[in-house]
Structures are given as structure tokens and as C-alpha cells.
Amino acid sequence: MVAQKSIAEKLGISRTAVSAILSGGANAEKFRPEMRRRVLKAAEELGYQHNELARAIRTGRNNVLGFVTQSIRNEYAGRVLDGVIQSTAENDFSVRIISINQERNAPKLAKQCIGQCLAGVILYDISDESFLSSLYDLLDAHGIPLVVAGGSVKMEKGLWITSDTVQGGNIVFEHLYQLGHRDFLLSFAYSWTAYSQGLYQGFSNAAAEAGIRLPKCSKCFFHDNADSEKIARIIAKNRVTACFCNTDFHALQLIMTLQKHGVRVPEDVSVMGRGNLRFCRALNPPLSTIDESLDMLGKRAAELIFERIGHRNRIFHRESIPHKLVIRASTAEVGGNIGKIDVESRKGRRNDK
Amino acid sequence: MVAQKSIAEKLGISRTAVSAILSGGANAEKFRPEMRRRVLKAAEELGYQHNELARAIRTGRNNVLGFVTQSIRNEYAGRVLDGVIQSTAENDFSVRIISINQERNAPKLAKQCIGQCLAGVILYDISDESFLSSLYDLLDAHGIPLVVAGGSVKMEKGLWITSDTVQGGNIVFEHLYQLGHRDFLLSFAYSWTAYSQGLYQGFSNAAAEAGIRLPKCSKCFFHDNADSEKIARIIAKNRVTACFCNTDFHALQLIMTLQKHGVRVPEDVSVMGRGNLRFCRALNPPLSTIDESLDMLGKRAAELIFERIGHRNRIFHRESIPHKLVIRASTAEVGGNIGKIDVESRKGRRNDK
DNA sequence: TTGTAGGCGTTATCAA
DNA sequence: TTGATAACGCCTACAA
């Protein structure tokens, strides 16, 4: 390996000079242009490669961020990571992936992060409170900032960045309400998560403001494919005209099931999802959904770390990223087809638009 | 930071002893159990954390692999990365992500890899030959092995691992042929890639062996949603009973378009995709497809690097991973519905099953 | 069985 | 403006 030493020896100058010039900071300015040119030229000729590890060990800072997640093989995590990478690339940092399947071993994870001298750690989609808490403490003891992204735990320490779920539920309601819908079904998977709770809260708050008290059937959960049949039956029985699913996958399943039973989307029932996954636009009808701006989430997570690096005081910070409404063709105005299908179950329907 | 030095000072022993004992190898065995216990206990008490960077700089090897890709936000790359991570975790390595959007700057990338003392580099889905070639040379000069995964360039140096596209095309044909299909349409996006070429070759080879000369209409390419209308028309006109799309996304689009026109899948036309993406099982009908075993691809890529570490001789190695057939409900036996729909365009059809 | 000395490549500090 | 010295944390050879 060609190190600074080789250059110094070749030119017969000190290693100090070589280091200062190659690092290119304010120190390099002090040297004569002639000297600088000679060093740079020699470095080029010898094929010198800067050793980041040596720099990191000396300065005590390694320009690497850790990205911890349960699984990287889903589109959601990929988008967050993409945002993190964008931000780190701009700041000459790089990203290390740490995948902890179901394991929640804080000391072990902290050991990895500290051993690699990470400048900061981002967790995505991990919501085990005691795990997060002890991990935060362990890293904090070494001055390593931790950002929890997309988690749904309430903890009064550390840096947090989440999607604004309440706002998300809000804009879904507004969109559907403006289309004239008054009879809703919320079909949620993972209903126990804070994420789902937030969406529901945002939706029902907005509904309340609009003078609509959600009937019992409007909070309803399903978890697998089989249950989308159940949802379809509930929709038919309860004269529901709009359904909000908390993932695009579930919206997809529901649309397929509805269509199988001859229920048209959006003519008979409007359907919305969440995520704006890549397949949404390929569907028929293309799926209306809300987009979490997950790349922005990742980007901000990295930025929060950059802001914290160097400050050792414990700080509590929480911020959220708003959802964006993505209107496609799976949602439409209500009313055009009432009475044309499934007449019996709809005869008592009020049209309170 | 608590280093070995602190432990040595506290116990009044040499740093050598501490290092040997903590590293836990054969050298540790030489020390008295009593001594070992004392050191381990002190390490625990003081909160000692092993510094990987210092170890790496001393030994010259950093247990980190680089994973380079254009974009990490798609399901394909995520799966490969997942496989890489699995394999690295087993070997106490970790993974660094390097995202190079459209940029193909080999010297810059090599600099990053060398500067971080990476033990090896995996490229996924990058097919620029001159870029790959010079990157290989630059890394090779520093003894860093490079694995090209999923690329489609033919180059006679380095380590290569790809999906067995010919075999993939083969099993698609076999599956459809066994179902009685004789009239095919291949609808490919990115048709210029070696990947697509391989699939086509595998399919047509198998067809030739079965005594079927693919008619002109059997090689047909489309790139966006609008064109799936065109494909649907071609299917109707040419009495096609089975269609193979080279991505699940395109299969999805096609199915949607066909259904919109009242063509039933699989009763009227069988459709296959490639990728086994997550949405496949949520479709109606669930999509039959071929799975590339991308996690296996990533796993093998990492293993190839582990095998090469330490050997500095240039070597050429190429291997491929077979596709797996995933049969769902979008493919079915031909014949049940011939003549029932779209009679005009089908009346001349031969049933040569 | 344990300790000493030296070095990996870099940077910080201080002196010249 | 440049150089000498030391240090970061670890490991390896060799000596005791």
C-alpha cells in the first residue's frame, strides 16, 4: 500500500508536510504552491490512496452511519435507505447496513456500532421500547447519536422522526369526503401499531369535524388474504362507498376480491391504500394512495445525525414528515351507481351528500 | 473510550497480555485461567469496547464488504442485499452500501473502496463494460476481489454470478407446454439486455426441441403501460393462449389490460411473469412466475469473495443460479374456452395438443 | 507464561 | 513555512 510515508521519502520531506497538503484543509494553505504541487504530483504518480481507517482512528470520528432494520428486502425500507444514502453522499459519509432479523439484543448491537466507530445510527421500523431505550443509553455513553425513524414508540429521549400519521388519516378523509363519500370502512392490518392508531385518529378526527360520527363498522381490521372476503361482505352489507386500507397490499387484495364479486372500483366502491408502492400505477384502476415520502424520512434522519455530531448533551427531538395525497383512479365521486348493484342490501341507504 | 491500555494499567500488567486474552485466539490459551478471568472481568467492568478500526489498520484487513448498486429502492436489489447480509453476518463481516446513481466513475469508486480498506466489493445490476473492467483492474491492484452479480456483460476476467436466464426461459416454456399451450407471445421490456436475450433464447431453444418454431409474433417487446393495449390486441389477433412477460410488473399490466377487455386470465389466456415480487400472490388470479432466488445470488456473491480473500492471483470464475418455477393461478390448461370468446379472431385456430 | 519494542497510516501539537 | 515528536488502539515478533 502506498502511504504518505512513501511520498515523504521519495521527495525527501517530512510526513507532516505530506499529510497537511494531502488533507487539503487550511493547513495546506501554509505551504508554498511549489511544494504543494510536488506532493500532489508524487501522490498521483505513486498511486497513493488515502486510508480512511487511519484517519478515523486518529481523529476519533469515522464518517460512517449505521442503518439498522429488520429486513431490507421490502420496498419501504429500501426507500428510507435511499434517502439516507442521498444525504450521506452529500456529506461524504457512507452507510453501513446492520440487519437484526427478530433479534433484539441491544448490547450486542451497540458493541457492533461502537466497535466500528460509527458516527451515528439510524433505526427503521423497530418499535421495541425497552430495546430502543437501552440501545440509546449504550450508544449515548459513547457519544453516538441514535435516530429512530418510522418507529411508533413513545419515549421521551433521543431523536425521532416519523410519518405524520394523523395528518395522513386526515387527508384521506378530506379526499374521500370531497368526493361525496359518507359511508366508510377502514380496513387495517397491524392495527395495534401506533402507526395504524394515528391514521385512524386522523381520519376520525376529520370525520368528527365534518359532523360524521363513524359507525361501528368503520373500524375494522383484517390481516390476511382470506379476510378480504370478509371485508367485501361487510362493505356490501353496510352500504360502504369508500374503503381506506392502511397498506397498498391490502388495498390490492381488497380490489381483487371486490372485482371477483362483480363490485366495480371506483364506480361502486372507492378504495385507497398507503405507501404508493411501485405496483400502484400498474393496477386497474390505478390505486389512489398516500405517500409517506420515505426517502425524505431517511434524508432527515441522516441530517438529524449530522446536526448532532459533536454535541454530547442529551437532547430530545421529535419531528414528523407529512404524507402526500396521490390521486389515481381507484377513488371517484360517490353516487353514480347506487341502487344498480346489490339492491337489497342498499335500499335503506341515506344519500346525505 | 476504554481501550486495552486502560485494562492493562488497572491490572498492572502488559498490554500484550490484554490484547492476546481479549482477542481470544490460540494465544489466549497460553495464559493462566486466573489471569484470563481477571482481564475479562476488568474489561467488563470498565466497559471495554473492541475497536475494529484499529484491528483493521494493524492487520490490513477490514471485515467489510461493499455493495454497489444503482438504486436500492427496488425489491430486486433489496433481495440481493438481503442475501449478502445473511452471508456476511455468518462470517462476522458487515456491509457498506455505495450507491452510484447514473455515475460510472471507476477511479472515484475504487478510491472509496480502497480508502475504506474493504475486503471485497459486490456490484449488482451494473452492465457498463468499460466501467466494470477498469474498476476490476483498480481494485485488483490492491488485492480487493470484485464480484459482478446480476450483470449481463461478457468479460473474461473477475468473478461473475448471474441468474441462469436460459434455464429460466426453459422452464417457462416447459410449464406452458405441459399445460397444452402452443401459441405464445413473449412480451419483454428492456429487450436489449443480456438478461432478456437469455430468457428468449432459453424459451425458443426449448420450443425448438418440442418441435415448435416460434412464429414472428412470438418475439415482441413493450416498454410502458400504453403498449400493453397493443400487446392485448396482438394476443387477440394471433390466437395466443399463453404470454410470458419478463417482469412481474409487465405481467400485472397485461393482466389488467386483458381483464379490462373482458379477456379472462387464465381461462382465455395464461400469463407468466418473472421476479416473484411480493404483490404476485395478492393478484386475482395470483401470478405464476419464475423466481430468480436473488437472495441466493447475493449469498453466493458474498461467499465468492470470502473464498477469494487472501489469494492474490487473478482468476476468472462464472456461475449461475437457476430460477425456480412458482406456479399460481394465472396459468392453466389451454382449451377450455376456445370459441367461447372473441370467436372471429379464433376460428382458424388449430388445436394441436 | 508474561513483557518489551516496534509498527500500521494518519493527524495534532509544538518547536524551529 | 516546515519538521520532529507523539499519539490513536491494536497486533506481532521476539525476548525474558
Mean pLDDT of chain A: 88
Nearest-Cα residue of chain A relative to residue B284? A256
- The nearest CA of chain B is from the CA of A295 a distance in Å of 9
Work out the pLDDT band at B351, boundaries 50, 70, 90. very low
Distance of CA B154 to CAs B69, B70, B129, Å?
Answer: 19, 19, 8
pLDDT beyond 80 at B35: yes
Query: Is B14 an interface residue toward A (CB < 8 Å)?
Result: no
> Which 3 state secondary structure label does DSSP give B143?
coil
Tell me which residues of chain B, numbers 266 to 295, contact chain A at a CB-CB cutoff of 8 Å. Answer: 277-279, 281-284, 295
pLDDT tens per residue across span A287-329: 999 999 999 999 999 999 999 887 767 789 999 999 999 999 9
Measured CA to CA, the distance from residue B339 to residue A119 in angstroms comes to 68
User: Stated in angstroms, how far is B14 CA from C4 C1'?
Assistant: 9
Window 17-36 of B, Cβ < 8 Å to A: none
Chain B positions in Cβ-Cβ contact with residue A73 (cut-off 8 Å): 75, 78-79, 81-82, 295
Give the mutation candidate from A1, A96, A97 for the B interface (greatest B CB count, under 10 A).
A97
* pLDDT higher than 50, residue B116: yes
- Residue B341: pLDDT over 50: no
Q: Are B87 and B98 in contact (CB under 8 A)?
A: no
The partner residue sitting opposite B252, judged by closest CB among A62, A95, A282, is: A282
Task: Name the band, by pLDDT with cuts 50, 70 and 90, for residue B275.
Answer: very high
Q: How far is CA B29 from CA B21, B26, B33, B52, in A?
A: 8, 5, 8, 22
**Amino acid whose CA is nearest the C1' of D6:** A58
B52 touches strand C (CB under 7 A): no
Q: Which residues contact A25 (CB under 8 A, 6 or more apart)?
A: none
Q: What pLDDT shows up at residue A55?
A: 92
The residue in chain B having the minimum alpha-carbon distance to the alpha carbon of residue A138 is B47
Residues of A numbered 207-226 whose beta carbons fall under 8 angstroms of chain B's beta carbons: which are they? 225
Q: Which of B77, B81, B252 sits opposite A279 (nearest CB)?
A: B252
CB of A261 less than 8 A from some CB of B: no
Q: Which nucleotides of D are covered by protein (CB under 7 A)?
A: 1-13
Q: Does A233 touch chain B (CB under 8 A)?
A: no
> A344 or B20: whose pLDDT is higher?
B20
Residue A113 reports pLDDT greater than 70? yes
Instruction: List pLDDT tens digits, range A258-295.
Output: 999 999 999 999 999 999 999 999 999 999 999 999 99
Gap from B291 CA to chain A (nearest CA, Å): 15
Q: Are B138 and B105 in contact (CB under 8 A)?
A: no
Q: Which of A71, A252, A259 sits opposite B282 (nearest CB)?
A: A252
- Cβ–Cβ under 8 Å, residues B304 and B123: no
Nucleotide with the nearest C1' to A59 CA: C11
Task: At A334, list the grid cell.
Answer: 360517490
Separation of CA B1 and C1' C13 in angstroms?
21
Looking at the complex, does the CB of residue B125 fall below 8 Å from at least one CB of chain A? no
pLDDT at A154: 74
> By three-state DSSP, how is residue B76 classified?
helix
With a pLDDT cut of 90, the percent of chain B lying above it is 62
Nucleotide nearest to A20 (CA to C1'): C11
Q: List C-alpha distances in Å: A255 to A2, A259, A352, B331.
A: 62, 6, 25, 21
Kindly write down the DSSP assignment for every residue of A187-250, as one continuous string. Answer: EESSTTSHHHHHHHHHHHHHHHHTT-PPPGGGEEE--SHHHHHHHHHHHHHTT--EEEESSHHH
Q: In chain A, which residue's Cα lies nearest the Cα of B252?
A: A282
Query: If you measure CA to C1', which residue is closest to nucleotide D8?
Result: A58
State the nearest Cα–Cα gap between A76 and chain B, in angstroms: 8
DSSP H helices in A261-349: 294-308, 343-346
Closest nucleotide to A58 by C1' from CA? D8
State yes or no: pLDDT of A64 exceeds 60: yes
For B205-260, the pLDDT digits (tens) are: 999 999 988 776 777 776 666 688 888 998 988 889 999 999 999 999 999 999 99
All residues of chain A having their beta carbon less than 8 Å from the beta carbon of residue B62 are 53
Q: Where is average pLDDT lowest: A17-21, A193-197, A208-212, B92-96?
A: A193-197
Per-residue pLDDT tens for A194-250? 888 999 999 999 999 999 887 766 766 666 666 888 889 988 888 899 999 999 999
pLDDT band at B85 (very low <50, low <70, confident <90, very high): very high
